[in-house]
A and B are shown apart, each in its own frame.
Chain A
Amino acid sequence: DAGITQSPRHKVTETGTPVTLRCHQTENHRYMYWYRQDPGHGLRLIHYSYGVKDTDKGEVSDGYSVSRSKTEDFLLTLESATSSQTSVYFCAIKLDITDTQYFGPGTRLTVL
């Protein structure tokens, strides 16, 4: 599982509240990614990071921000959650020498 953990694994929150999801890796990989999974859409990239304090937007970045203050942690923040952000969120890492990504177990987020 490439040493990836996500927390929390499940969260229910209300519209308008801030939410932060955490991705933690144990192997010092440079690249980390946040995806959301929705029926009929597969997985879509939200943001990714290529080093400490180095991040870039993905396909569906509106309404999300990220931070990476240390190599092992990549945080995804919903500043003001909306019902359209109800989804399953997956973190991934990429080994530096390949283009293969490995995924964490996911966080199921429900915004009421």
Chain B
Amino acid sequence: GDSVTQMEGPVTLSEEAFLTINCTYTATGYPSLFWYVQYPGEGLQLLLKATKADDKGSNKGFEATYRKETTSFHLEKGSVQVSDSAVYFCALSENSSASKIIFGSGTRLSIRP
């Protein structure tokens, strides 16, 4: 079945460092790909998405490109801030009317001032 694998955390960086969180997927067909973010004590928020190969999703300085050839959707940000500290989830949406989502296990990111 479909699955998502993302790098394990926790990841700790200094403020203004470059961020990459790796995500690869296995899927039949052509799923949509997502990054969700969960701030402490809160629910999940959609960070960005891409619906087809070579699409780039972007939001709040974060970017991810849908790479079909490497089945990847890595999350990047050029200069992180303390406020980016959160848990990040990579996910895919199955090709069905219900669009069931398969999540990765999450990566906890901590940013040092």
Contact = CB atoms under 8 A, between A and B. Distances in A.
Nearest to A108: B41
Contacts of A90: 43-44
B44 A45 contact: no
Given A42-B105, A45-B100, A50-B97, A99 B43 contact: no
B25 interface: no
Interface residues of A, number: 23
Contact of B99 (A43, A99, A104, A105): A99
Nearest to B90: A42
B89 A43 contact: yes
A48 B98 contact: yes
Nearest to B104: A42
A36 B101 CA distance: 13
B45 interface: yes
Interface residues of B, number: 23
Contact of A99 (B4, B32, B103, B105): B32
Nearest to A88: B43
Interface in B7-63: 32, 34, 36, 42-46, 49, 51
Nearest to A101: B101
Contacts of B99: 31, 94, 99, 101
Interface in A94-112: 94, 99-106
Interface in B70-113: 89, 91, 93, 97-101, 103-106
Contacts of B46: 100, 102
A56 interface: yes
Interface in A13-41: 31, 33, 40-41
Interface of A: 1, 31, 33, 40-45, 48, 50, 56, 58, 90, 94, 99-106
Given A90-B43, A104-B43, 4 more contacts: A40-B105, A41-B105, A42-B106, A101-B99
